[in-house]
Chain A
């Protein structure tokens, strides 16, 4: 997994609550057996005027010029500003894969859906929870200032505005550690393989019916 330490990037504002995973990456693109190739279909139904299909040349499709990510001033954005309960809906990890491949490194919102929040950390994408007031202030700032960029420091747990105003955010210690170092979760867990085996043996003795072969 790619590490996340510090990042400075252009902000794109997506001013909608409850953005669900069907919007982030519609179901027809989930048929892929690969982890890549989703970026061009991020927010497909909002971004294009036609109905997208897998394996199509997206550069030839008609764009919805009103959609925020299609506006010239937000090209190259790497920080997504969103409203409450971002990422609700399904468990599809294709959602963070698509956001990552599009170029986003961090998402700032007042709240995230649990599974999406969890999946993001596994893919080097940092979801940041700020208060509703702070997020609303950032929406105002972003829309008022072309080229508005934020600096995110995971180690310090801060988001810094161009005018120096700083917001602090919370992040679980284990998630922070893995993301800062780009650690492979599985490798880390397997360091405890012996412990898992011991637990399993005792647990099996107490609950043998849970180990009947399927």
Chain B
């Protein structure tokens, strides 16, 4: 019999019951809540007269629509100018208060984007099932955890039962071997993967990222990678546990301590796929072939190396695809065959659950240092992923580098990734963004998003158009 994949192991560990109809009850270890997808779940709980099954499995923080300017933040919830946003943040406060759920409130230094704070606090651990009413929950899979996004009905289901009803998915391995070239990051790797397999490529699968290039990535790089598995269609992305995982977790506030730690580490060593494990689908790539990526269209699969030209619909034979390219070019205001490096930028966004951790900010700052944001760029935002990331960056002087270069240094939150707060694109504006989705209107009605790595976003900021970041690295500051 073939061995087990990491996903098989995690599934079996958490399977409470296999029901006659082919579904299973899966036990949930960690449930993360935020203000947008939880209010209706708490309301449902109240209407049914139910209580949370295990309060201490839950952790909450507001992130999606908190303001990111210091002025608006300093006034607390009452000072949130947008009425509906204020009510939503207040409602999360009220619900956490009522049910006794731990919350890092808006101005707590531990507040931040749900997918940044879980790992940062050690609230995300290897071997856990982690769910949250947000599709980028796949991020936590970087720890050898089974993590995925859920809808609001399931948020209520997890609160009430500590379980989810699920059917096992298929196993997919994405193997990236070889040496990662200088200037190429986890973001470029995952964009290249999405470009290769498409936004539906991982549908119905749990994806494990493997291979020497993946092992080479830091934990933060692995989080970036797993974060965007959903853009490849896979709800679940994961990386097997190794020494890097264990070193990252050790000493975090909610990580196990003492004898608990020793026992946990011993158990975590098994969180790898067996050598003879069977994967239903295998995708292979070479790291050496990857060039810094830029998305040109309105779906994350519409992505190309920075030295490429925008596609020409006339060369596409599939009518649905041709239509998609034509529509995307029109929305993005681009000409067929135009060079990506000729795309001019109006705004820059460095942040989001994909790329707002300390290493991301360091990479962007290294490019911005001693340079200036180009005149044609109206605004360049840096939004740290959490209060603690912000504090760390300030300790390292990164805030000064950004401010000197003409960037705005903001308070933590989701910000311009989805523009639920006041940070948004104007209609027709092009943005080099380190976020994860370039859908029409995602960053503001009529806004045009180009997905890139933090270093590439910083390079675009100082040049005013896309450029291969390696050219700047070579010329020095």
> 1/0 per residue B184-213: CB within 8 Å of A?
000000000000000110011000000000
CB distance from B250 to the nearest CB of A (A): 12
> 1/0 per residue B272-306: CB within 8 Å of A?
00000000000000000000000000010100000
Question: What number of A residues sit within 8 Å (CB to CB) of B?
Answer: 63
Is B254's CB under 8 angstroms from A212's CB?
A: yes
Shortest Cβ distance from B160 into A: residue:
A186
- Given A33-B88, A174-B19; A190-B149 close (CB under 8 Å): no
Is A190's CB under 8 angstroms from B134's CB?
A: no
* B183 interfacial by beta-carbon distance below 8 Å: no
Is A22's CB under 8 angstroms from B439's CB?
A: yes
Contacts of B133 in A (CB 8 A): 91, 93
* A32 interfacial by beta-carbon distance below 8 Å: yes
* A60 interfacial by beta-carbon distance below 8 Å: no
Stretch at the interface among B162-170, B338-346, B367-375, B403-411: B162-170
Contacts of B233 in A (CB 8 A): 85, 88, 113-114
Is B320's CB under 8 angstroms from A113's CB?
A: no
CB distance from B246 to the nearest CB of A (A): 13
* A76 interfacial by beta-carbon distance below 8 Å: no
Of A15, A118, A173, which is in contact with the most chain B CB atoms at under 10 Å from its CB?
A118
* B413 interfacial by beta-carbon distance below 8 Å: no
Q: Which of A155-214 contact B (CB under 8 A)?
A: 172-174, 177, 185-186, 188-190, 192-193, 195-196, 199-200, 203, 207-214
Is B43's CB under 8 angstroms from A123's CB?
A: no
Is B439's CB under 8 angstroms from A173's CB?
A: no
Stretch at the interface among B68-76, B261-269, B308-316: B261-269
* A54 interfacial by beta-carbon distance below 8 Å: yes
CB distance from B347 to the nearest CB of A (A): 17
CB distance from A207 to the nearest CB of B (A): 7
Contacts of B156 in A (CB 8 A): 186
* B56 interfacial by beta-carbon distance below 8 Å: yes
Contacts of B437 in A (CB 8 A): 20, 22, 89-90
16 contacts across the A-B interface (CB closer than 8 A): A22-B418, A31-B87, A35-B43, A89-B437, A90-B135, A91-B135, A91-B151, A92-B151, A93-B153, A114-B234, A174-B165, A189-B161, A190-B161, A196-B162, A210-B125, A212-B256
Shortest Cβ distance from A210 into B: residue:
B29
Is B203's CB under 8 angstroms from A111's CB?
A: yes
- Given A89-B439, A91-B149, A114-B204; A33-B91 close (CB under 8 Å): yes
